[in-house]
């Protein structure tokens, strides 16, 4: 009998995709290797910069590439698609309309998780594209959770860190920890690591939400139970 097949649109960036795959693996307890979930990964780092497009610095539309990846995975027979890149969810509604299979929404899943934890206000660390697009804000606001964001200076430092991770130049959590340590916004109930690059280097910490953990759990649930 054919098992459900999870599709993953990866490569945004490559370390975040690898981290997501590892988290999926570590969530599963099996007696034989054949019990692990079947996954079809389409790693496509050639997808244009999402933040550059959203902020008007580029007219190279990532949606065309995302649509191609989603349609390719659907044709290959996947049951659902995971998208381990928060900024790409700017195109979520349009992308979902192009396929007849569910695309797991990392933003909504994170907001659901925050509500379950009883958080009333969160500090969002994300790309400038995610912040400008406000899709993450909307997801939290639907759960009656208020969102604060870093100052312009801190956001600049954060983007520099995110791109250094994408280039494979940084794998230390020290810079991220120093950013969080000086942020007045950390008085929020929780800090949301709203960029999957930050999830790669972050240490586990109370009231710090790693969205790759959230997506991995939601993906496993989707494949096993058929519910998002």
CB count, 10 Å around CB of 160?
11
Which of the residues 19, 85, 123, 199 is marked catalytic? Answer: 85
Around Cβ 207, how many Cβ atoms within 10 Å?
Answer: 14
In this structure, the answer to whether residues 163 and 117 fall within a common structural domain is: yes
Residues 111 and 206 in one domain: yes
Domains of the chain: total:
2
Nearest-10 Cα torsion for 160, 162, 164, 165: 170
pLDDT at residue number 206: 86
pLDDT on residue 186: 52
User: Are 99 and 127 part of one and the same domain?
Assistant: no
Do 174 and 85 lie in one domain? The reply is: no
Residue 195 designated active-site: yes
Is 199 an annotated catalytic residue? no
Instruction: Write down the number of H helices and E strands in the chain.
Output: 11, 7
* Given the residues 19, 123, 195, 199, the one annotated as active site: 195
Residues 124 and 205 in one domain: yes
Whether residue 219 sits in one domain with residue 199: no
Joined tokens for residue 178: 């120093």
Question: 46 and 112: one domain?
Answer: no
Q: pLDDT of 152-194, one tens digit each?
A: 999 999 999 999 999 988 677 888 988 887 665 456 899 999 9
Low-confidence ranges of the chain (pLDDT < 70): 1, 170, 182-187, 226-228
CATH of the domain at 190: 3.40.50.1860
Structure tokens, 91? 């195109």
Residue 113 lies in domain: 107-210
Same domain, 9 and 91: yes
The closest alpha carbon to 149, from 164, 166, 171, 132, belongs to 132
pLDDT at 227: 46
């Amino acid at each position: 009998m054919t098992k459900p097949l999870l599709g993953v649109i990866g490569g945004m960036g490559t370390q975040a995709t690898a981290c997501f795959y590892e988290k999926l693996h570590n969530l599963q307890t099996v007696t034989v290797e054949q019990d692990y979930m079947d996954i079809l990964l389409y790693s496509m780092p050639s997808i244009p910069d999402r933040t550059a497009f959203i902020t008007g610095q580029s007219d190279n539309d990532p949606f065309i590439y995302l649509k191609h990846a989603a349609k390719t995975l659907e044709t290959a027979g996947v049951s659902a698609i995971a998208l381990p890149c928060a900024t790409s969810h700017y195109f979520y509604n349009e992308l979902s309309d192009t396929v007849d299979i569910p695309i797991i929404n990392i933003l909504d899943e994170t907001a659901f998780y925050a509500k379950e934890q009883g958080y009333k206000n969160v500090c969002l660390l994300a790309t400038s594209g995610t912040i400008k697009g406000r899709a993450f804000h909307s997801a939290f606001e639907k759960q009656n959770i208020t969102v604060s964001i870093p100052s312009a200076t801190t956001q600049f430092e954060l983007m520099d860190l995110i791109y250094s991770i994408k280039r494979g130049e940084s794998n230390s959590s020290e810079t991220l920890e120093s950013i969080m340590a000086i942020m007045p916004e950390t008085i929020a109930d929780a800090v949301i690591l709203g960029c999957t690059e930050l999830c790669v280097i972050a240490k586990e910490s109370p009231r710090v939400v790693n969205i790759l953990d959230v997506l991995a759990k939601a993906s496993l649930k989707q494949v096993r139970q058929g519910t998002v």
